[in-house]
Chains A and B, each alone.
Chain A
Amino acid sequence: MSSHTATLRTEATAIHSTGGRRTSALARRRARTGFILTIPALILVTGVVLVPIGFAIWISLNNWPLFGDINFTGITNYLKIFQDPIFLQSIGFTLLYTVVVTPPILVFGYLLAAFVRSNRPGTRIFRTLFFLPTVVGLTTLSFLYYVELRPGFGLVNVVLGALHITDGQTAWQLNWVTALFAVSALVVWFATGTTMMLLLGGMQSVSAEIYEAALIDGANAWQRETRITLPLIKRNVAMALVLSVIGSFLAFQQFLIITDGGPGTQTTTIVMWVFHKAFVDQQVGAATAMGVVVMVVIALLTSIQLFVLRERDSQ
């Protein structure tokens, strides 16, 4: 942000120094126009983001049933939610899920990006096809996967059975470990394309001369990757990492559709439990306190991401 304000200031002084009164009157009018153009965006952000943030903090400090009397209870909700065993369990499960899916998404995404960055024949078509799962969206894929996970006829089981890896009768959702594994496999398949595209953007800006020089120096493929490509695209990697972590941390529909949080509540994610608290248990105060906790965590993660991006912009 500081570099942004710096450019602002220099342009402002430029306007003031070049002309006399007329220029500055024009500058004032243009400044007003500029502000007016941003008003619709500001109204939406204020109404749907800023006010709800303040409102969320207020709700979280009250005992707030969906219907009925509301009364101020201070930080009681925050104390209570951290004694709620299912909330704690959902945090643990969501973190575990994040840890499970993130490394493969990054590794496979990197490998795919390295695979499609050359201009061999077919590269563009491959890029398009690898990215299709991301475009289709996780919700639709989860419904299709839900059918294909069925024991006996679901294609996941049929294929695993044909390869003699399983007997083809696995009911993945009956055990939280196999359920986690099944959902993670879907998400890795779905999200690898996104990471590929993000890393590809960085790889394409690495100049060919560097690789040529490395080749002349006798560097092998592994060395070129780890000593040249990786250091030069480390900001893209960081961005892809943070995005993957945020996406996993906010997981909702893949578990709702495929496991419905079960068996029991064992595969319930944080966002699922916030939703349940608010709209099933109708304890809006407690649900909102959980939401505030999620918000703080994500804001921290996004700050890291913006910091990384700013670094890149100032390069």
Chain B
Amino acid sequence: MTAVRTRAVAPTRGTRHGGSGANLVFITVGVLLSILFAGPLVLAFIRSLQDESQIVQAPNAGSLVGLSFQNYITIFTKLPFFQFLGNSLLVSLGGAVGNAVITTLAGYGLARFKFRGSGLVFALILVALMVPFQALLTPIYLEFNVFGLINNRLGLIIFYVTFNLPFGVFVMRNTFASIPRELEEAAYVDGDSVMGTLFHVLRPMALPGVATVMIFTFLACWTEFLGAFTFLTSEDKQTLPVALLGLSEGSYGQVNFGYLIAGSVVSLVPCVILYVALQRYYVQGLAAGSLKS
């Protein structure tokens, strides 16, 4: 698993014959591309501050006059966006923590304890990677229905944890495999238990892996649509992406583009903050997580 390094970059030809003129061209092109990729997100934020009559007019002299947070105030006071935000936070945190715990245990077991059938266990976990949940919506729906997990946020968390397991197991298995064995052996000699060793001795070295699993799973759950759309059926349990569909279809009366844009910004800001703050962990997860879509 090649982790994409964000810090240490192997020197390439760029440094060799890159004079200041070449650098200037590079920066110019880079800034233009940055506007192409990040500009629309900034624009979305500005649009979210316009009122509806400004949004539905082509840009003109008055487009930036009287910007306000009114759209945000409305969706949080007149529409149940606190509820949606809470639901999204709950299932995403639940998914992230649940996945971190389960993949830490499984990764530790697979990396450090050689047992007959470990190959089979790993292969079974890989099945979750090879099968798209989109193809299993109906059997999972019927099965969850039997256990009362439909329209149940716990059910969605279980679903999220399972389909994010494979990448987490990869990350945690590699994390434990890269920790020197001597540390553990010393702990065993001192009579520490398996779990004791995991928590006291291995924890500091396993934390980057755990961080990778958590941030990656959190964002995967936060942005997930089809599962939440299928398994949560009542409005009070909906997550942000599904609630936004309601806004765009006019479930709360007439379609209001301002609310839709403001709601979208609410849903994208945590992604941007988490990514920028914890980029290193995210990118490490991508290499392993790229095994799934």
Contact = CB atoms under 8 A, between A and B. Distances in A.
Interface of A: 1, 4-5, 8, 11-12, 15, 27, 30-38, 40-42, 44-53, 55-56, 59, 112, 115-133, 135-140, 143-144, 146-147, 150, 152-153, 155, 158, 161, 168, 189, 193-194, 197-198, 200-202, 204-208, 211-212, 215, 224, 236, 239, 243, 246-247, 250, 252-253, 256-257, 271, 274-275, 278-279, 284, 287-288, 291-292, 294-295, 298-299, 302-303, 305-306, 309, 312-313
B15 A291 contact: no
B207 interface: no
Nearest to B43: A155
A124 B6 contact: yes
A127 B6 contact: yes
Contact of A30 (B58, B113, B268): B113
Contacts of A118: 9, 12-15, 18, 26
A28 B124 CA distance: 22
Contacts of B80: none
B290 A129 contact: no
| Main SS at interface, chain B | helix
B34 A291 contact: no
Q: Across chains A and B, which 5 residue pairs bring their CB atoms closest together, nearest first?
A: A34-B113, A118-B14, A37-B109, A137-B223, A31-B115
B4 A200 contact: yes
Given A201-B2, A305-B291, A147 B260 contact: yes
Given A4-B119, A155-B43, A204-B10, A40 B106 contact: yes
B79 interface: no
A284 B194 contact: no
B279 A59 contact: no
Nearest to A112: B33
A168 B57 CA distance: 12
Given A118-B14, A208-B11, A34 B118 contact: yes
B115 A34 contact: yes
B130 A298 contact: yes
Given A49-B128, A147-B261, A194-B290, A129 B38 contact: yes
Given A40-B105, A49-B131, A247-B293, A291 B9 contact: no
B136 A56 contact: yes
Nearest to A221: B13
